[in-house]
Amino acid sequence: MTGGATVRRPTRLAVAASAVAIPLAAGFASAALAGAGLPLTPPASLRSTVQAPEGGIAASPANTLQELYPRLAACWEVPQGLAGFPRTEITARFALRRDGSVIGEPRITFSMQNADQRGRDILTRSTLDAIRRCTPVAITPALGAAIAGRPIALRFIYQGPQGQGV
């Protein structure tokens, strides 16, 4: 994705994403945070829902989280074999290095329960494949420094073509 090229993808895809940047000392657990009354969700400034652009994604490096999310979503393709499901959602959680490559293996943390096990497997595979195709993602050194190692939750929401399923 260099040299001013654009990437065209299906237009009925929205992506909800968040970057969690809560520094934790070793040994703190979620239960301790909840018990202390600390929020377990990221602030509104770190959550975003974007529509994958119809005309494609600019090839220039992302400099903000709002520019990063559509670049990550651009590689998701509607999985074959899920006909009949009018809405599909899946969330992957992962972290990026300063260069935009993935640290470790992304994890699926949510999958809408409107599909059988085969459907969930297809959806999981297509989501993980999309993250692999889009990374390393082109990001600026400033954004890389800001997000390196911090969890990103990326939720793919596909409405299906006019209720005809995915």
pLDDT tens-digit series, residues 132-147: 999 999 999 999 999 9
The fraction of the chain above a pLDDT of 70, given in percent, is: 55
Does residue 97 have a pLDDT over 60?
yes
d(CA 16, CA 69): 8
Q: Could you tell me which residue, 51 or 139, shows the higher pLDDT?
A: 139
Delimit the domains of the chain by residue range. Answer: 13-22+45-163
Element (H, E) at 91: strand 88-96
- The answer to whether the beta carbons of residues 6 and 149 sit under 8 Å apart is no
Q: Yes or no: say if 50 and 15 are a contact pair by the CB < 8 Å rule.
A: yes
> Distance between CA atoms of 58 and 158, rounded to whole angstroms?
22
DSSP class of residue 163 equals G
pLDDT of residue 59: 74
pTM for this structure?
0.68
Regarding beta strands 88-96 and 102-111, do their DSSP bridges make them parallel or antiparallel, or are they unpaired?
A: antiparallel
Element holding 121 (H helix, E strand): helix 117-134
- Classified as helix, coil or strand, 69 is helix
